[in-house]
Amino acid sequence: MKITIFGSGYVGLVTGACLADVGHEVMCVDVDADKVARLSQGEVPIYEPGLETLIHQNLDAGRLHFTNDAKAAVEFGLLQFIAVGTPSDEDGSADLRHVLKVAETIATHMTEYRIIVDKSTVPVGTASKVERTVAATLEARGAAIEFDVCSNPEFLKEGAAIEDFSRGSRIVIGTESERVRQTMRECYGPYNRQRDKLMFMGVRSAELTKYAANAMLATKISFINEMANLAERLGADIEEVRHGIGSDPRIGYHFIYPGCGYGGSCFPKDVKALAHTAEAAGHPAHLINAVEQVNARQKSRLFEMVSDAFDGDLAGKTIALWGLAFKPNTDDMREAPSRALMEALWQAGARVQAHDPEAAEECLRIYGNREDLDLTEHRDETLEGAHALVICTEWKAFRTVDFVKLRERLVEPVVVDGRNLFSPESARDAGLTYYAIGRGASV
């Protein structure tokens, strides 16, 4: 089957590579000519485990193509996936400019029936907007060509994208058309062998499913973070509480890890967009607004803890920072808690010595070369002359630490653990002043 994918960002690339890998012929189209040229040579601009290999294999097999020729791309695929970005507008709503531009491009070049698939995370009602845009463009051309628009939200996680795409729990497709159902069955057939994961539903339900899923997950995180802050005040240990509540299968152990707030390109943006949609629909979503507020506060927790450790005087202090990416196995720093922390530290006159296994380049791209930031190649180099260590991301490489050596290397034995990686007793027994999330007094 021939498939076109507009947008070679995170979702577009993973979708393209995975669909090509099961035998479809895939053409990925992007407006960035330089990116297209690099991708055609197998140079992948993002770090995602397994993606580069998959792209190489499918380029070599001749099943995956990259182009910036929109006309050729529209001619290519019966299915035209839209997987372009939907950034937050100033008011928090999703900016649909790129999505609608692609819809217009498809309608400008199409000469026969096409199925347009909304893969980007888009607010409820977007498929109707795409439909209207395509219809208006076709009418302006004087062309009477049939088309369908369906919604097919993506649920993959960065760092586990290929696994999630291939073995995800569901494939949601919003459509009322039997022709679309059949074509989408064919498209996802190879990923739908062991049990039927395809869920057909109304277009608006599919669109809302995506936001509801992310908002639910973000709610779990803000809930546990709220409990963690409370536990700290009440002298309880949130890790014990987490075990206690997780054992109830109605609650479960997944996705209730307390930390320094959720980041990334999805939760922050999608929670805000859903709040905006709710407001616009005349039903302000109090819970969703609170989820966002709790998260904003949580992102400042690490700075508060460091600041407390030094009685509010951080001027001239050097802080070692482990983990810049918003989570492990990615180089993505969008909305990462590390950014809130570094910016607050700089504001307070401190220097940062940071290490991340993958995100150093991204950090340089964002902040450039600055006097108050040193990026080190090895984890322990950050400790040289540092007054305290803060852990922002739970990379595996940070989980094994010799506390005694750590204490000896730090100017002050202060460790602020934003991911609850260690046992407070062991850290404190080794003489560290150890702060964690929701785990009681520090000394």
* Binding residues vs ligand UGA (CB under 6 A): 121, 154-158, 214, 217, 221, 255-257, 259, 262-264, 266-267, 326-327
Q: Which of 18, 187, 266, 363 is catalytic?
A: 266
Q: Cβ 28 to ligand UGA, closest distance in Å?
A: 18
SS3 content of the chain, % helix, strand, coil (to 5): 45, 15, 40
CA angle 292, 224, 392 (to 5 degrees): 75
| Length of the chain (residues) | 443
Pick 56 or 297: Cβ nearer ligand UGA: 297
Residue 18 is among the residues annotated as catalytic for this protein:
no
Pick 256 or 306: Cβ nearer ligand UGA: 256
Q: Cβ 265 to ligand UGA, closest distance in Å?
A: 6
Q: Would you say 188 and 215 are in contact if contact means Cβ atoms under 8 Å apart?
A: no
At residue 78, φ and ψ (nearest 5 deg) are -70, -40
Q: Would you say 394 and 328 are in contact if contact means Cβ atoms under 8 Å apart?
A: yes
Burial class (CB in 10 A: 0-12, 13-18, 19+), 243: exposed
- The token pair that represents 288 in the structure block: 């969703």
Q: What is the rounded end-to-end Cα distance, in angstroms, of the chain?
A: 63
The whole-angstrom separation of Cα 424 and Cα 434 is 7
Pick 327 or 379: Cβ nearer ligand UGA: 327
Pick 154 or 226: Cβ nearer ligand UGA: 154
Pick 121 or 133: Cβ nearer ligand UGA: 121
Q: Cβ 267 to ligand UGA, closest distance in Å?
A: 5
Q: Cβ 69 to ligand UGA, closest distance in Å?
A: 28
Q: Which residue has the tokens 């001239």?
A: 316
Q: Cβ 136 to ligand UGA, closest distance in Å?
A: 29
- Which of 46, 48, 58, 8 lies closest to 28 in space, CA to CA? 8
Please give the positions annotated as active site: 266
